[in-house]
Amino acid sequence: SGTTFSPAQTVTAVTPSPTQGFHPAVYYVIDKQVGRTDNFSLRMDPANGSRYFRVRDGLSPFGLGFDGREMKLKLYVKTEKLDGGFNVEVTYPKKISSKSFTGTTNGWQLVELNLTPKPTDPYVEFRFALDSKKNNQGKVWIDDISFLPVEK
């Protein structure tokens, strides 16, 4: 579960942060048996009420501005017998989205979204979303999330 959102800051996925008005872990669990590079990942399960969670980086709530460099959100997704779909959205204030995942993926799938937030952009918001209906089945695992400058 190597989750890094900027070089000087790690956003914890396990304990609440005083800078977030809610704790996103109510929408996922830490799976201690499935992971891409270790035995840990975030798991969303529509049968258990998972819908989406979001994390912001920037002036709100973390107080870090952007310098105009191109940034990359990188993560890995794995699905199993997923009804509905799962995708990642980034808003900064533009909105970009990953492809939608459904069914069962062939192992871990790399998701990369490049964006260039301006110094005047107040935040970048990451939204991890399940498009699921009541009684849907399946699971989504998310692992090795990073949000770092693109190296040229």
**Per-residue pLDDT tens digits of the chain, which is 152 residues long:** 344 433 333 444 444 444 444 444 446 778 899 999 888 898 887 766 556 666 766 554 434 567 788 989 999 999 999 888 899 999 887 899 999 999 999 999 999 999 998 877 877 888 888 876 667 788 899 999 888 889 87
**In whole angstroms, what is the distance from residue 13 CA to residue 29 CA?**
9
Check residue 134 and give its pLDDT: 63
**In whole angstroms, what is the distance from residue 137 CA to residue 142 CA?**
17
**In whole angstroms, what is the distance from residue 71 CA to residue 50 CA?**
28
Q: How far is CA 66 from CA 7, 10, 131, in A?
A: 13, 16, 31
Nearest to 100 by CA among 113, 115, 89, 116: 89
Check residue 52 and give its pLDDT: 66
Q: Give me Rg for the CA atoms of the chain.
A: 15
Place of tokens 């909105």: 95
Nearest to 117 by CA among 64, 74, 76, 75: 64
**In whole angstroms, what is the distance from residue 86 CA to residue 139 CA?**
10
Check residue 84 and give its pLDDT: 81
The first and second tokens of residue 16, run together, are: 């609440």
Check residue 118 and give its pLDDT: 82
